[in-house]
Copies of this chain bind each other. A is one copy, B any other.
Amino acid sequence: MPLYVDLNSDSGESFGRWKLGNEEELFKYITSASIACGFHAGDPSVMRRTVRLAKERGVAVGAHPGLPDLMGFGRRFMEVSPQDLENYVIYQIGALHAIARAEGMELQHVKPHGAMYNAAWTRRDYAEAIVRAIKAFDPKLILVAPYGSEMHRAAEEMGIAVAFEAFADRNYRSDGRLVPRSHPEALVRSIDEAIERAIRMVSEGRVKTVDGKDIEIRVHTICIHGDSPNAVEMAKRLRARLEEAGIRVAPLREFVRRA
């Protein structure tokens, strides 16, 4: 049975007059777009243009809900009640669902953004709120979350599909979490090294940690940071190397089993 992996990128993170990311190029190489839904970035017209481009390029689309913090780009932790969080996620999924329907597309997945993703990595209440939101709207949607995270556990226990996301250009700790961005060794600086890490994560299910250990990691999708300056090069080269290594690069819906 062949190995599969998806390449996803945070997308549609422009807002009004402000541009961010280069979907025109990036969508040639990725297979799934996680599209901002207006809370941390994105506005209805940005969302529509992004969905339309994804359709043209054959890229699957999913919701990328964020915390209500446009000024902080959804990257700042906020202490939100689980009920509010659930409703924020339903609202944002619904908004993107409608935009996608207007372009004849269906949503494939939901991937929380920034501080929501990070908080729900380790906080069970946030993780469950996100899973409840998905179940309430459409239990066939795939949650994109890190392997071993509270989102992973909540999705499994509450009965929705989860796709594991890994970060080729970020260093991991031996507890399976990322080295924080504030740490000097947060990033894997060489594209070559990041690519080889990705290949190994997908094919062997293992990654070397920042403190010299070697841990298990399961991967369905690799995150391309759409707002980083070398995103297009990274996506292009990573995709080529994965395919060379006999790994099929395809959207999650083609190989992740739905609930």
- A residues with a Cβ closer than 8 A to B are 13-20, 38, 41, 43-45, 47-48, 68-73, 75-80, 83-84, 87-88, 90-99, 101-102, 115, 133, 136-137, 227
Roughly how many angstroms separate A227 CA and B19 CA in the complex, as a whole number? 12
Indicate the member of A69, A71, A73 with the most B CB atoms within 10 Å: A71
20 extra interchain contacts, Cβ-Cβ under 8 A, other than A45-B87, A47-B87, A76-B79?
Answer: A15-B18, A15-B71, A16-B71, A16-B72, A17-B75, A17-B227, A18-B18, A18-B19, A43-B87, A44-B90, A48-B87, A48-B90, A76-B80, A77-B78, A90-B99, A90-B102, A94-B95, A97-B98, A98-B137, A101-B136
Contact assessment for B101 and A38 in the assembled complex, using a CB-CB cutoff below 8 Å: no
Distance of A81 from chain B, by nearest CB (Å): 8
Roughly how many angstroms separate A90 CA and B14 CA in the complex, as a whole number? 19
Q: Using Cβ atoms and an 8 Å threshold, which residues of chain B touch A41?
A: 17
Q: Using Cβ atoms and an 8 Å threshold, which residues of chain B touch A69?
A: 68-69, 78
Contact assessment for B93 and A98 in the assembled complex, using a CB-CB cutoff below 8 Å: yes
Identity of the chain B residue whose Cβ is nearest the Cβ of A115 in the assembled complex = B79
Contact assessment for B16 and A91 in the assembled complex, using a CB-CB cutoff below 8 Å: no
Distance of A186 from chain B, by nearest CB (Å): 17
Indicate the member of A13, A20, A95 with the most B CB atoms within 10 Å: A95
Contact assessment for A91 and B44 in the assembled complex, using a CB-CB cutoff below 8 Å: yes
Known A-B contacts A44-B90, A99-B87; A71 and B73 likewise in contact (beta carbons under 8 Å):
no
Roughly how many angstroms separate A91 CA and B95 CA in the complex, as a whole number? 5
Known A-B contacts A76-B79, A79-B76, A80-B76; A70 and B16 likewise in contact (beta carbons under 8 Å):
yes
Give me 15 A-to-B residue pairs in the complex whose CB atoms sit less than 8 angstroms apart, sorted by A's number. A13-B17, A16-B72, A17-B20, A43-B87, A44-B90, A48-B87, A69-B69, A70-B70, A77-B78, A78-B79, A90-B102, A94-B97, A97-B98, A98-B137, A102-B136
Identity of the chain B residue whose Cβ is nearest the Cβ of A103 in the assembled complex = B136
